[in-house]
Structure 1
Amino acid sequence: MEFTMASPAFKKAFLASACALLITGPYAYSDQNIDQASAREQIMVVLDASGSMWGRVDGKAKIEILRDSYASLVERWDDEAVDAGLIVYGHRKKGDCNDIELVASPGPVDAASQTEFARKLNPKGKTPLGNSVRMAADVLKYTEQKATVLLLSDGAETCGVDPCALGRELEAAGVNFTAHVIGFDIRDANTQAQLRCLATETGGLYLSAANADELDNALSKASAEQELTAPSGYEIRAVIDDTTQTSGPTQWTITGPDFSLSESTDIGRIQPSLLDGANTRPGRLQVHASARSGDYVGTADFDWPLTENTEILLRAAAANAAISVQGPVYSASTMIVELNIAPRPDDVFALVPRGAGFSHHVRSLNGDIVKGTFEMRTAPHPGEYDLIYLYDPYGISREDARIPVTVLPSEIDLSAPSAVSRGQTFDVRWKGPALADHTIVIGPASDPDAYDAIAWPSSGNPISLAAPDQPGTYEIRYREDYDTLFVLPIEVK
């Protein structure tokens, strides 16, 4: 995917995004409209400045692209006197889930100071987007008044907050809370689903910014949806099974006295304004809703006009899924999985500790699942696990199948001289699965995460390593990603 966010087209689209999503009326102050200004909507922007923002798009760091776009945004807001605030996370400390900073509370925007702040952002840390959105909601006093948050993130939550659950919590407790989410250069389907769920559960919109043209199209749709979902009387809300979750994208068929309507919505809500526009006469309505690729359906009758917010329960159709694993399964390797049904777009396989749920998964797979057999990574360490087959893990987390899997230890071994000279190149022989991301490194025994030289077993046997320049006690480690699977001590003299 190409993404030229710093281009004039993107800047224009990003500005239109914030304004179309967040600004619902005139914001100019005058002596005659102080009362109107004091009651206007409050807006909080939440920006991702985590370490992943040093990733590059079209040769340019994402944080540099974001700096330019945010500078243009606040310049526009400075002219329009928008009451906006700013929260940034991940920009001050490595590995700290509490690195969330309230930069500006909602009020007239000081474009110069906020632009200068953005120019100095230096991504370092994790992605506590959930707690950042929670802080934004609290600053906006969302339990007392209407509150809107715009989150821009390039990755998934990494600090243990479930964005779906957070969205449901804020939606339930807020007077009229909405979170709109822009996913910046996100290619992982699970991450997109996680961010989309936060928006959906609050009645907000998820916009995927892959390039300027796609963003322009998304913004046109967002403007139409915002008009559709403007508060107007009571709504019909589609709820998944026995949860409190809205259904997300939903197909509706509504029939009544001399009336029939078919409609699709990106969120699981039908506003009375839609039915008003269809000239519905008072009487009994039958509403049928279908969501999540038709896996959840429900039908209910309601009296029109509504006298309260109304829910229709969508129940799951039986999946009749069966899964199996072929042959012995070994750690830090791959296994062959068999599925008897055609997978749906949001299906996920996950390997979890015995009896655990999806949130504890050590391996997950989606996108490469097919009916029949396919390959999946195993756990890095031996033990007793379960393989679970889920539908929409970042939403309902419905398990359609679960089987026990015993992961046996792979034969992993290293052999090398017990001592080498400083700077000496030496050979290391190895045994192991030698997957593409497996590495062999040499590093100080005192720091298990540090290393001085690296090689890939998939490149051949033996591999060569260069000894560090400083004498001391070191380790040769066979690793999968950051997980050490075997250690061989070595002295550097």
Structure 2
Amino acid sequence: MHFLTTCLLLGTVSTTAIAQDQPNTILVIDGSGSMWGQIDGAAKITIAQEVVGDLLADFPADQGLGLTVYGHRERGNCTDIETIVAPASGTVDDVIAAVNEITPLGKTPMTDAVIAAAEALRYTEEEATVILVSDGVETCNPDPCTAARLLEEAGIGFTAHVVGFDVSDPEALAQMQCLAEETGGQFLTASNADELDLAMTAMVMEPAPEPALVSMTFTAVIGENKALIDTPILWDINDGSGLIVEDAQANPLTYDLPEGAYTATAYSIAGEETGEAQFVAITGGATAVEVLFEQKQPTARVIAPTSAPAGGTIQVGWAGPALEGDYVGIGKPDATGSAQWDNFFYVADGNPNDLLMPTEPGDYLIRYFIGGDRAIIAETPISLTPVIATIDAPAEAIAGNDITVSWTGPAYDGDYIGIGAVDATGSAQWDNFFYLDEGSPQTLTVPTQVGQYTISYFVGQDRSVLATVPLTATEASATLNIPAEAIAGSTISVDWTGPAYDGDYIGIGAVDATGSAQWDNFFYVQDGTPNDLLVPTQPGEYLVQYFLGQDRAILVSDTLTATPVKVDITAPDTAVAGSTITVGFDGPGYDGDYIGIGMVNATGSAQWEGFSYTDEGTPVDILVPVTPGDYLIQYFAGQDRSVLQTLPITVTAIEARLIAPDSAAAGSDLIVGWDGPDYEGDYIGIGLADAENSARWDSFAYTRDGNPLSINLPDAAGDYIIRYFVGQDRTVIASRPLTIDE
């Protein structure tokens, strides 16, 4: 492709003036044979010579300028490149003269010509500009783009501007454009003398500086908290001479503006109102512009009676915006914060709606509150009048007794009458209570402690007191008649007297016991007198006590000594594992007593692996565990499983023997002889060698069925084991291998 390098010179030079600090420039002219082509009857080289002469007429004498020409001396020579005028100031006349002497002749090594010009400009040391004018495709260097990229990377501010003169070949145009773009230069085309003049002039003229743009963000907000308006906003922006932005819809809106003073106008479509802000766009300054809309306060009305009984419920009507969370509440006129609504209802719950009045008489305001910021937009006054209650109850009663209480009062939902100590506070004001919705009169239980009490009418809403009467609780009495001593674990008869309140009970516990340990055993007094009481199994000192069911207060207590119980066990010193032994005993035979056998170190239920209840009489049969070792035979009290007597016993191992062939056919019947204890449930099973749990006996036969036994073999071949299982716990006491063949 042919380039007449008409130059970045043209991009930096003005026909009137060029800055003194501009880089040196070389004009690269296409002198290849194609420049003899004609446009409108004139050779392209002639047109180029005239245009260059005109353009350089006003070129400043102190600006560095040079000239490189290619293809002007030899045909077919890609090295025909010559820098005719070295870049220097005051060379304009030399360049014009040299351009006028060009006689097109050879090939188009335009890329290498640009490289030669760059090297003449010492592009790796100084800023350098090349202006190339060409009329055809590159015919020597296969890759102008790569060459241009390397020049850009190695150079210090290297730029190549390109004018394509009378070029229609797409490949040539692409090469020229790439050469310019890779070095940050301009690429223009011209098809005749006038266009060439315009293109080169456009390069020569110094471009006006682009105005600085500032990215501004415009936001429309509302109210004191400056919440973003989420309904549509239209924006106009005026620079003083007229609108530069009109009806742009967004919130926020981002727009790039030249530096200057402006006015932004925001129009809220939903609110049908306008807001504006004056601002300045300047580089490095504030970039956020905010237009504030005033929060319009909605209106409302509240309709309610002018007076009502304190603590009562009235109906309240309202009219208002009914925004989410809006509510109507009642509070004192001078209240602040959340105290402005002692009680409230959400307007979403209906209109009219019920509103609970505070319990304290006086002047109040019923207000309509906006849910979002609790702003008050309507209110109406109301006066709360006192309500009266009365209580009729005895002045004195036995502690823990039930009394009858009559009352009058408003009987609001949740109202109750309670009794508590005179100086009690909080929930201690009602040790016992009843709700008024159950009518009048009602029964109230007096606390169990002797002393001075107050019976009060409580409003359920806030536990305020409407009426009180005093009550004196006098001492309650009880008696116990029990033996001074009894055998541990035995049952004694208890005679008693007492108030027999609901839930009262008599219990026995260790002398120093506390809490629920005070009654190891007990009976309810409602079961009558006398009644049976079970003595604990451990010998020692105990207290038998009358407990009030209300709070477990003790009315009376008496002492009892529990004497040791005598137990004697007769059993063998040794026994064969899994066998059954006979155990004789002499003991109390209490309900649930039993004799069990367990390992020496066993605890909990493991202490009786085998057992028999004593109510079956003496002697009893005990099944001995299958595992050999040291065991204990023990007499257990049924009451608490405490051990009353112990005997040691040694359990010896049991033996068994199996007689069978070493192999047999799958699915056949195998005859097995055996020698063993033949305990109840003992069986001989056949299973795979590595089987576990119940898989150890794919097939089996009980020893009670005879000796020898016939056992049907599994159908699958493999390595099996014949095992003797003790029926008690499936312990294996003999085994032998068996191969089952196909």
Greater share of helix residues, 1 or 2? 1
TM-score bracket for the superposition, by shorter chain length: 0.3 to 0.5
Q: Which has the higher strand share?
A: 2
Structure 2 length as normaliser, TM-score?
0.28
Structure number with higher relative contact order (C-alpha < 8 Å, ≥ 6 residues apart): 1
TM-score by length of 1: 0.41
